[in-house]
Amino acid sequence: MERLPRIAHVLWQKRIYRVALMGIVAAAVQSTLFVILGIWLTLVRPSTAVLISTETALLINFYLNNRFSFNGSPHASLPLRLVRYHTTVLGSFFCQWLFVFVTEHITTNMYALLTAYAAGAILGFAISYTGYRLWVWEHHEEASSSSSKI
């Protein structure tokens, strides 16, 4: 039983595990909203529920990753990181929406919609993590500071 906290500590030191954990939290919120809005209560079409739930999860995920996953490295200003983050996750966002949109036009089967939703989320994680690591939280000098060095 003593090994469990030590293993958790070792995993917490690896950024990809922190990003994955924050993604799991955001995905839980996103999935709950998607199911409630688009499948259970059918307040909106499933593809619209993807848009609403994804944007909510994106903001939660940005906050959590900014606070816990990438807080130790120098990077651009908060507004610029938020713009970069949204730009980066557009690929993931579009992928998930497209999978559900196509599926809802083929069938109304709940399991098919949930499978399309999950497939889009899995592919989206790979797209998003790459963008996070390479662009959002990586240090980039502002154009003004580059020109001042000349």
In tens, the pLDDT along 38-47 reads 999 999 999 9
Q: What is the pLDDT of residue 41?
A: 95
Q: pLDDT averaged over the chain?
A: 83
Q: Say which residue, 140 or 123, is predicted with more confidence.
A: 123
Q: What is the pLDDT of residue 12?
A: 76
Instruction: Name the band, by pLDDT with cuts 50, 70 and 90, for residue 74.
Output: low
Task: Check pLDDT > 80 for residue 1.
Answer: no
Q: What is the pLDDT of residue 146?
A: 44
Instruction: Name the band, by pLDDT with cuts 50, 70 and 90, for residue 149.
Output: very low
* DSSP string across the chain: -THHHHHHHHHHTSHHHHHHHHHHHHHHHHHHHHIIIIIIS-SS-HHHHHHHHHHHHHHHHHHHIIIIISTTS----HHHHHHHHHHHHHHHHHHHHHHHHHHHHH---HHHHHHHHHHHHHHHHHHHHHHIIIIISS----HHHHHHT-
